[in-house]
Structure 1
Amino acid sequence: MEFIKPKEKLGESTTTNLLSADGPHSGTRGCKYSRKNLIFISVCALSVFLYFSKLYKWTLIWEQFKTRHEEMTVDEVMFSLSWASSTSKYTSFNNTSSAQHSVVWLEQRRAQYCVGDTLNVLVEMRNYAGQPKANGGDFIVARIHSPKLQACASGDVTDLLNGFYRVRFHLFWPGEVQVSVRLMHSSEAVDVLRRDWKKDYTKISHRGTFKVGRKQETTPCALRLDSDRALCEYRKKEDGEYYACYQPQTLPCNSLAIMRAFSYKGPNLTKEDSQLLAKENIGIEIKNSFKPVTVVGCTGASHAPTEKCVAGMNSPFPGGYFYSNRWLPSFCQADPFFSEAAITRCLKGKILYILGDSTARQWLEYLTIKVKGLRIVSGSRFQSYLAVHARNNITVRWMKHNHPWNSNFASDVKAATIPEVLDSIAVGGRQKDAIVVIGIGQHFRPFPPEVFIRRLQSIRRAILRLQARSHEARVVIKLENNLEFKSPMITVSDWYGHMQNLAQRKVFEGMKVAVVDVWDMTVATSSFSVHPNQVIVYNQVALALSYSCL
């Protein structure tokens, strides 16, 4: 076995010999060689450093690219939706959170509030006995508003997990500003919703119609069927979505044609659970301990964004405010696509796909009213619409998403899914530029969250495929809005909608898509309507077009 001296020893020996060489100029010669070695070593070290620095930089870029396009699992998305849980068990209704007995305090009152300042309030939660709560988990929404100015904005709620909540408001406009905080659900009610949301597939019943020629048979269907009876099972390999029907007596499973949803009374709730979710206990305003604050425009104070709204931007919450009934984003500049001329200029020569539920259909209906000459030429309000403006070469298509639905009407099971529509969009050449709006969620609320998350993941992959084919394709994600207080809470509570909005933000995070936060708009205006009014709808459309028409 051959032994090799360590290189550092050889280096030391060589250097020593050079420095101690005999001769009249040995010292000078040694310094000369030493200087050359030092320069050589320095150059090598610098080269290695630059190489690995560049490699590290490209590694970071790749990691960021990979992270942007890396899909989270259903469990990872579910984990990200963690919500503060109640730390005390339900004992009696009297011990649950009460809006009537709670109070909102102004935190660190100032002598003067300027436009651009932050206004913080504390919500002290108490029970029906007037005693302070010691746990978090209540579902609260908050807003500021100035009715005379037609101005309003949402507040950002932070659960301090001790019975207190801090709400942060950005003061966007001058004038008298009122604070409004609502207790949507007590922490005890949220516990009921969370428990049921994770496991119950039976809130909505479905029936499938099988057809062959003139013969048809109908059987119960569901996203999950536990039975010893023979089943027709339907699963898509590409996204893992599943549903099943009881096998009809004579017709084959592949003859399923229509799926119809039926409203169902929901699970059998206990008397206590029903009381927690009763409509008289939903969305109650908590009283303020202070009067409205006056906001003034101070010298040097500015909150106007300078960067234009583009797809891929991080959309914060709250992300804007209404002033004179116009939505103004707080993080980017939006072009005013409110006039017929501006909308026509944006959509001219383009095809606009609006894919989703009836709240998305409102966009097409608004456009056909606003843009003269844009007319619905085919379709129905329960399946799809096609609107065309021949002179300006504008095409607008609304197509409803496939089941599940919680409304009592039929759905064609063979109709194209949202991913299939995205995959079918022709790009390049003489094809029209495409704008895609996707707005789903309301009809998924009665079902466990993994059903919605799988649908989002399937849509996400289709968006990436579309954008790989065409960098010009614009994609807009429309989040959910809130609903009426009279809605059946165990089935379609706004808490479900809020959590599903968080899921949408997580699934589409880092992608080149624009987010229109309709939840933000409807909380700010306190609309609480499944179909928001025209003011909210035209502001949604204007913001989407601002992202889409650069």
Structure 2
Amino acid sequence: MNLRQIVDWFPLSLTNIPHGEMTVEDVMLSLQWDLPPTSVWKSVQNTSSPAQSTASLEHLQAQYCMGDTLDVRVDMRDHSGRPKTHGGGFILARIHSRKLQASATGAVTDLRNGSYRVRFTLLWPGEVQVSVLLMHSSEAVQALWRSRQLNYNKITHKGNFVNGSKTETTECGFQLNASKSQCEYKDERDGESYACYTPPTLPCHSIDTMSSFNTPGSALTKEEASLLTGNNIGVKIKNKFGNVDVRKCSVIPYNKWRDCVERINPSISSGYFWRNQWSSLCCKTGSFFTLESIKSCLKGKKIFFMGDSTVRQWIEYLINIQKEFHSVLNSVKGISSIKFVNPKGEYSIQWKVHNYPWITAHKSKLSESSYISRDLDTIGAEGEDTVVVIGVGQHFRAYPLELFVRRLLSLRRAIQRLQARSPGTRIFIKLENTRELSSEPERFSDWHGHLQNLAQRKVFGDLEVGFVDAWEMTVAANTFVTHPNPTFIASEVAEFLSRLCHTPQDTSARPVS
């Protein structure tokens, strides 16, 4: 199935989008180069092998200085040692120094002929090690894409209907059997919808909570599934060279800190870890690891965090390091919103979960959830002291990409409406971070997250919003976990605050504990 056929197959792709606005088709076409090529392979022996593949230095220099570019060429071979002739593999790469607790990502370019170029910027002096991981072979990526676009049935959702002491449960989803009676829950304006099979006796409006579980079965063949087992994911490709010695030369040929509002170009590193703290190349982040600077930045502001639990971690971090908050709504596991205010600092922060789909065994209250686009519409013309952070993606990985793109376009239109009535309101997009390699790859592979981040750059890239590139940060740190530890979250928050306030002070400050 080619991209044109895929777009034509989408049942909801072009509905409710005014003429002249960005469409699902626009976004899907922009991702065409990043989709896997169609290839035929007869056995696992024909697939990419990290053990047979090699990484070598291009443009070898006698001396490397801070700010220089380091180019690494990856030549992919199959398990029989034969060179691959097409691209499509999913590679993640980083440079790092364990001694210095330093690391940064590399920009990967698929040359579409079986080879890849990884470009690094050398950002610190000393010994630098290069690591190139083959996350998925091109054949595995092809299988993941086919499975993702095939159906909506990788997750089963259960809706619980309640009326007094009576409870009934039915299956819910985005593509149910049309021959059965259904309760449809639709946002007519934005075209968002889901449905549940009609309960035996209770009315549709009595729906109360939703939970979910992974559906048994797979759309993959036995051979395809074998490419996605643990020992075939995230395997290091051997280097044909040793560590690189980087020196601090007299002239550093790059401008370390650029304008804080500059939009992120994914081919350029936005920062690096140094002594286990994130150091942005867009703004100085150092001061925003201290409690004093954090409180100073937040003073007088009303901050809305909207999205999934990776954004919820930000508010939990800010609450934990500050003892002056008064709880408006306490949060326990499964609760869909948190709000805290600081009377002394005269600011408030709150988090609210995005609307269905959620993938959780906990019963989530539908009355407490709403689409972020609707929540954005409730924010008035409050000016520059109002701040919004949006982070979505993890819960969409198990569904066809069209569903996620349609949600992004709803957010785009809501952001444009908010900026029209309140031009001073600051809006930030938190990109997805990586997750556990042990996550079921057919549903949750980081390749799905990578593709969704590209979609977010397309949808929001021309708007006046800031990006917090959690993807680059987690790849640089080699952190494959859905919910990173508080030390890592401190770096994400510091990046956000540096872009929000960009008045750095002490760049040697340590993070608060």
- Fold shared, TM-score > 0.5 on shorter chain: yes
1:389 aligns with 2:339: no
Distance 1:544 1:225, change over 3 A: same
Aligned to 2:209: 258
Question: Which of residues 232, 240, 248 in structure 2 aligns to 1:281?
Answer: 232
Aligned to 1:14: none
1:487 aligns with 2:439: yes
- Displacement of 1:268 in angstroms is 4.2
| 1:363 match: secondary structure | helix
Aligned to 2:9: none
Maintained 8 Å contact 1:172/1:303? no
1:173 aligns with 2:127: no
Give runs of aligned pairs for residues 17-32 of structure 1, distance below 5 A.
Answer: none
- Displacement of 1:376 in angstroms is 4.0
| 2:408 match: secondary structure | helix
Distance 1:160 1:307 in 2: 30
Q: Write the deviation string for residues 106-159 of structure 1: whole angstroms up to 9, x where unpaired.
A: 112110011111000111111111221111111000000111111111001111
Question: Which of residues 39, 48, 60 in structure 2 aligns to 1:109?
Answer: 60
Aligned to 1:337: 288
Question: Which of residues 321, 327, 330 in structure 1 aligns to 2:272?
Answer: 321
1:433 aligns with 2:433: no
Amino acid at match of 1:155: G
Give runs of aligned pairs for residues 423-502 of structure 1, distance below 5 A.
Answer: 423-428=377-382, 433-502=385-454
Distance 1:360 1:266 in 2: 31
Distance 1:335 1:465, change over 3 A: farther
1:528 aligns with 2:446: no
Larger radius of gyration: 1
Amino acid at match of 1:547: R
More helix by share: 1
- Displacement of 1:378 in angstroms is 2.0
Distance 1:100 1:318, change over 3 A: same
Aligned to 1:549: 501
- Displacement of 1:377 in angstroms is 4.3
1:509 aligns with 2:461: yes
Distance 1:315 1:485 in 2: 23
1:420 aligns with 2:371: no
Distance 1:448 1:107, change over 3 A: same
Identical positions, percent: 49
480-489 or 365-374, larger mean C-alpha shift: 365-374
Distance 1:287 1:198 in 2: 33
Aligned to 1:75: 25
Distance 2:273 2:165 in 1: 55
TM-score for both structures, normalised by structure 1: 0.84
- Structure 2 unaligned residues grouped into runs of 5+: 1-18, 503-513
Amino acid at match of 1:416: S
Distance 2:133 2:231 in 1: 13
Distance 1:426 1:227 in 2: 40
Q: Write the deviation string for residues 385-431 of structure 1: whole angstroms up to 9, x where unpaired.
A: 11222221221111111111122122222323211221112444xx9
Distance 1:455 1:102 in 2: 39
Distance 2:202 2:260 in 1: 53
Give runs of aligned pairs for residues 24-103 of structure 1, distance below 5 A.
Answer: 71-82=21-32, 83=34, 85-86=36-37, 88-103=39-54
| 1:532 match: secondary structure | coil
| 2:287 match: secondary structure | coil
319-328 or 181-190, larger mean C-alpha shift: 319-328
Question: Which of residues 149, 165, 176 in structure 2 aligns to 1:214?
Answer: 165
Distance 1:363 1:265 in 2: 34
Maintained 8 Å contact 1:311/1:547? no
TM-score for both structures, normalised by structure 2: 0.89
Amino acid at match of 2:269: P
Maintained 8 Å contact 2:36/2:145? no
- Displacement of 1:325 in angstroms is 2.1
| 1:336 match: secondary structure | helix
Distance 1:200 1:261 in 2: 17
Aligned to 2:3: none
Maintained 8 Å contact 1:99/1:183? yes
Aligned to 2:308: 357
Distance 2:422 2:285 in 1: 24
Distance 1:87 1:419, change over 3 A: closer
Maintained 8 Å contact 2:160/2:207? yes
Distance 1:527 1:370, change over 3 A: same
Maintained 8 Å contact 1:315/1:331? no
- Displacement of 1:216 in angstroms is 2.8
Question: Which of residues 337, 357, 365 in structure 2 aligns to 1:404?
Answer: 357
Distance 1:484 1:313 in 2: 26
- Displacement of 1:336 in angstroms is 2.7
Distance 1:147 1:343, change over 3 A: same
| 2:99 match: secondary structure | helix
Amino acid at match of 1:543: E
Maintained 8 Å contact 1:476/1:515? yes
Distance 2:114 2:38 in 1: 11
Q: Write the deviation string for residues 216-236 of structure 1: whole angstroms up to 9, x where unpaired.
A: 321111111124211112221
Distance 1:408 1:88, change over 3 A: same
Distance 1:166 1:130 in 2: 20
1:538 aligns with 2:490: yes
Matched positions, count: 480
